[in-house]
Amino acid sequence: MTADDAVTRDRRRERGTLAARWRSHLLSTLSGRDDGRPEWVGDMVTGDDVGFFGPGSAAWAVHGGMATMVAGIRALLMQTLHPGAMAGVHDWSRYREDPLGRLSGTIRWLVTVTFADTTIARRESGRVARFHERVRGTYTDASGVERAYQAGDPELLSWVHVVFTDAFLASHTLWDAPIPGGADAYVREWTVAGDLIGVPNPPRSAAELHEQLEGFRRAGTLVSDERVAEAVRFIRRPPLARGMMPAYRVMFAGAVASLPREYRRLLGLRRSPLPVIWATGRVLAVVRWFMGSASSSEDAAMTRVRRLEAEGKATEPAASV
């Protein structure tokens, strides 16, 4: 072996070690476990039906894509603008002490409804609904009036559903492959999630989604105050592993750039003059290389689907029936 060969070998080993370390940090952040497979993912192998969506669906494509990483940042930023939703996070969430725990809880619900069978998806949605029953208090609305709230209030459920749907749709459109059936198919399919937790009249098309989102802003419901500023500062600089922060900063900038100007203004954020949309795409490509093409949840769901097909029990996804 020549000296050049030895140097090349050492550099490859160093890159492999760095990749493994970064991948471990990423998997730990997203799932709470270094192997990226939390215990509840094992439930997705079980079950007696394909689920609400199934392979080839818009929901599987969007929620199984890498752009979900940026979508989560965008959704959390937008969520802070409703004072009732912000009060629930401020008063009840342990995001300061356990930010990754809160993130893991949100991911658990989203992924379970998307990839699990219908029984498990309903059970997980029931768990979320029961938690919402406990989350209550008061907040000051945009007019300065003190109002009582419960996390399960129709207005708050609608706001959270709309901003999450909007964030995942916009992020996937910018940074991932075309959605099967297009944007309308995704919004229409994801009404299932809204129905499961009691969202009144969830949007059924991209146009309805935009109209409902803008309806909150035009009605003067949204608030930009110190509580929002505090949450934005936290989302900008979460307590992640040092090695993850450069990539996270790029994705945060990408999430901000993806927002319409009027929402950036409310959040007190400016779009970077740098090409952060392009840079975010490059970061996601690197993450895809580290992580592989499919999520552990999608892999588990496909194991269930193949078993059902072998047993002759596979049926159409529940959302399409």
Tell me the angle at which helices 245-258 and 154-175 cross, rounded to the nearest 10 degrees: 110
Pairwise CA distance, residues 252 & 245, whole Å:
10
**What string of DSSP letters covers 231-298?**
HHHHHHS----GGGHHHHHHHHHHHHHHS-HHHHHHHT----SS-HHHHHHHHHHHHHHHH-SS-HHH
pLDDT digits (tens, 9 = 90+) for 151-174: 889 999 999 999 999 999 999 999
Domain residue spans of the chain: 36-316
Share of the chain above pLDDT 90, in %: 53
User: What stretch of H or E contains 34?
Assistant: none
137-174 as b/e, with b when 16 or more CB fall inside 10 Å?
Answer: eebeeeeeeeeebebbbeebbbbbbbbbbbbbbbbbbb
pLDDT at 321 over 50: no
Residues 279 and 15 sit within 8 Å (Cβ to Cβ): no
Task: Determine contact, residues 186/64, Cβ cutoff 8 Å.
Answer: no
pTM score, two decimals?
0.86
What is the average pLDDT value for the chain, to the nearest integer?
A: 84
Write out the two tokens for 55. Answer: 């392979």
Question: What is the residue-wise DSSP string for 58-69?
Answer: HHHHHHTSTTHH
The token duo for 152 is 């399960």
* Percent of the chain topping pLDDT 70: 80
Which of 26-35, 151-160, 233-242 bottoms out in mean pLDDT, i.e. has the lowest? Answer: 26-35
Asked if 254 and 70 touch (Cβ cutoff 8 Å), the reply is yes
Residue located via tokens 């752009």: 67
